[in-house]
Amino acid sequence: MAGHSKWANIKHKKGAADKKKGKVFSRITKEIMVAAREGGGDADANPRLRTALTAGKSANMPNANVERAIKKGTGEIEGETFEELNYEGYGAGGVALYVECLSDNKNRTASEIRTAFDRNCGNLAGVGAVTWMFHRKAQFIITGEHADEDKLMELLIDAGAEDISVSDGVAEVLSNSESFFDISKTLEDAGIPVEESGLIYHPENTMKIEDEKTARQVLRLIEKLEDQDDVQAVYSNLDIPDDIMKIISEEE
């Protein structure tokens, strides 16, 4: 299985910082509200809601927060109405970027996303410009003693895992989206805690950026996009060689 865990490791480290700012809970709350609004508050009958609740459990989101988000989504209590917006574009070096947003103000979100691209060596593109480069996948991030490639492979292959890779104590498990719940249950039954899980857009092929300046520009654009309150996730086909990534990581 080819490894893709380098970027997952970067994302995990960034995610730890996001949690300190409370952004993870905010993003999951929005997803729960939209899922409940579209498919109802019964997770057994609403796969999207069930996926969001699994992500909330992985992030140790309090039950009270989850229940309130569901009720806001179903209209039991008053809450904002969020619209799903997606943006496509390119960063420095031609790296493809796909940005998922949930917004209560389309004009504000569009302005913020365009500004982030314009100020960080990026370019917005039209609908469909980069989506063909990505496939919908289930992703699980596992850390610590359980981030063992051989053990995870033995445990999860029959559950539908397609790719398992480990880097710097962070394991990334990828599968087709239909296997999300089977893998979730298998990990739960085995007592393996999941740091992060969800459905993502994974690049079919990656673009290797071997110039340090260009790599920094792309990472800065991704960071600026992820800093926007309306952004749920940013996906890219970025691949930075280990020696360049080490230099960048040590300076942060």
Q: Which CATH number fits domain 17-74: 1.10.10.10, 1.10.150.120, 1.10.10.200, 2.60.40.10?
A: 1.10.10.200
Query: pLDDT, tens digit, for every residue of 5-26?
Result: 455 555 555 555 555 557 889 9
Query: pLDDT, tens digit, for every residue of 78-111?
Result: 888 999 999 999 999 999 999 999 999 999 999 9
Q: Output the CA–CA distances (angstroms, integers) from residue 36 to 30, 48, 52, 195, in the order listed.
A: 10, 8, 10, 24
Query: pLDDT, tens digit, for every residue of 44-63?
Result: 999 999 999 999 998 889 99
Quick check: 2 pLDDT over 50?
A: no
Q: Using pLDDT thresholds of 50, 70 and 90, give the confidence band for residue 3.
A: very low
Q: Using pLDDT thresholds of 50, 70 and 90, give the confidence band for residue 126.
A: very high
Which residues lie below 8 Å from residue 82, measured CB to CB, with a gap of 6+? Answer: 30, 33, 34, 102, 103, 104
At residue 168, the pLDDT reads 81
Nearest-angstrom CA–CA distance, 172 and 133: 20
- Sign of the C-alpha dihedral computed for residues 200, 126, 116 and 93 taken in this order: positive
Q: Using pLDDT thresholds of 50, 70 and 90, give the confidence band for residue 245.
A: confident
Query: pLDDT, tens digit, for every residue of 220-243?
Result: 999 999 999 999 999 999 999 888
At residue 20, the pLDDT reads 54
Quick check: 1 pLDDT over 50?
A: no
The mean pLDDT of 69-81, rounded to a whole number, is 92
At residue 11, the pLDDT reads 59
Quick check: 248 pLDDT over 70?
A: yes
Give the global pTM.
0.87
Question: Are 163 and 214 in contact, with CB atoms under 8 Å apart?
Answer: no
Question: Are 73 and 32 in contact, with CB atoms under 8 Å apart?
Answer: yes
Nearest-angstrom CA–CA distance, 141 and 152: 11
Nearest-angstrom CA–CA distance, 1 and 4: 9
Quick check: 73 pLDDT over 60?
A: yes
At residue 79, the pLDDT reads 81
Mean of per-residue pLDDT scores for the chain: 89
At residue 169, the pLDDT reads 86
Quick check: 148 pLDDT over 60?
A: yes
